[in-house]
Amino acid sequence: MVVLKTENLSRYFGGLMALNRVSMEFRKDEILGIIGPNGAGKTTFINVVAGIYLPTEGKIFFNGRQISDLPAHKRCRLGIGRTFQLVRPLQGLSLLENVMVGALFGNGLRQREARKKAEEWCEFLELSDITRDITRMTALEVKKMEIAHALAAEPKLLFLDEVMAGLNSDETKEMIDLVRKIHSRGIVIGIVEHVMRVIRELTDRVVVLDWGEIIAQGPYEEVSNDPKVIAAYLGEEA
């Protein structure tokens, strides 16, 4: 079953084609990797699907429903969640309150219920001392908080945008286990990542973007040996 499908999705910024006719499918129970060199359009793809940018052309279907014109907040409520490449914690709110925002607005809960939900997700992600100020958190904790924030909205599809960046190898291992744990709750995951070990260990399928276009897709082993992919990462021979 297909959860999210994009059809010839394009997004231009002026003359720059950030996404060019990208057709992708996210299937139920799947972890899909999205890889590609810097500037390939990975984050733009997430932004267009999440509704931060409207597509220039093309359509997006979520559970069979056309959502290309819906604003971002409605897409979140439908079940499209995402984290951010650069962490964006909400200053002035505690760790728990940051997570609550997802439950309050993405999930439409009242404050008391949202607090309970947020506590559950913090526990799920092994975050402790949750009433603390967010200025006193490690990089790993902030990343976990952002994932909890996204999960509190109860997404059916979750995009993780470079959640491993800046983590050491122990932390990366911990994060890989967490992603598996999230996936085991029945949440479809789209993961953008530069750390190939993570993609190899986690994903069922990989889509490779370059200059806004899909240049290859398939299982990691297959894709990583594709000459086009190698050329995109290493540069073509003259």
Partner 1 sequence: MRISRYLLYIVILIFLLTLPIYTGVYLLNVIDIILIYIALALSWDMLLRSGQISFGIAGLFGVGGYAAVLFHLKLGISPLISILMGGLAAAVLAWLVGMAVLQLRGMYFAIVTLALAEIFRVIIRNLPDLTGGPEGTVLSSAIFAGSSTRTYWLVLAGAIVSIIASEFFRRTRIHFAITSIRNDEIVARSSGIDVFKYLVFIFVITSAIQGMTGGAYAHIYGFVSPEGSFSVDFTLLPIAMALLGGMHLTWGPVLGAVLLGAVSELLKLYIPYGHLLVYGVIIVITILFFPQGILGTLGQRLKKTDTG
Residues 157 and 82: beta-carbon distance below 8 Å:
no
Q: For residue 111, state whether it binds partner 1 (rule: CB under 8 A).
A: yes
Q: How far is the CB of 227 from partner 1 (least distance, A)?
A: 37
Q: 130-143: buried (b, 16+ CB within 10 Å) or exposed (e) per residue?
A: beeebeebeebbbb
Q: For residue 136, state whether it binds partner 1 (rule: CB under 8 A).
A: yes
Q: Which residues contact 39 (CB under 8 A, 6 or more apart)?
A: 211
Only one of the segments 58-66, 146-154, 166-174, 189-197 lies at the binding site for partner 1 (rule: CB under 8 A); that segment is 146-154
Scan residues 175-204 and list those touching partner 1 (CB under 8 A): none
Q: For residue 77, state whether it binds partner 1 (rule: CB under 8 A).
A: yes
- Determine which residue in the list 100, 127, 148, 163 makes contact with partner 1, applying CB under 8 A: 100
For residue 44, the surrounding DSSP H or E stretch is helix 42-50
Q: How far is the CB of 72 from partner 1 (least distance, A)?
A: 4
Only one of the segments 24-32, 48-56, 163-171, 220-228 lies at the binding site for partner 1 (rule: CB under 8 A); that segment is 48-56
Smaller CB separation from partner 1, 17 or 52: 52
- Going from the C-alpha of 183 to that of each of 8, 9, 72, the distances in angstroms are 27, 26, 23
- The two structure tokens encoding residue 52: 């931060």
Smaller CB separation from partner 1, 81 or 232: 81
| Binding pattern for the stretch 49-68 against partner 1, x by CB under 8 A and - elsewhere | -xxx----------------
- Concatenate the DSSP letters of all residues of 53-115 into one string: S--SEEEEEETTEE-TTS-HHHHHHHTEEE--SS----TTSBHHHHHHHIIIIIS---HHHHH
Instruction: Name the residues that contact partner 1, by CB under 8 A.
Output: 50-52, 71-74, 76-77, 81-82, 84, 88, 90-93, 97, 100-102, 104-108, 110-111, 133, 136, 149-150, 153
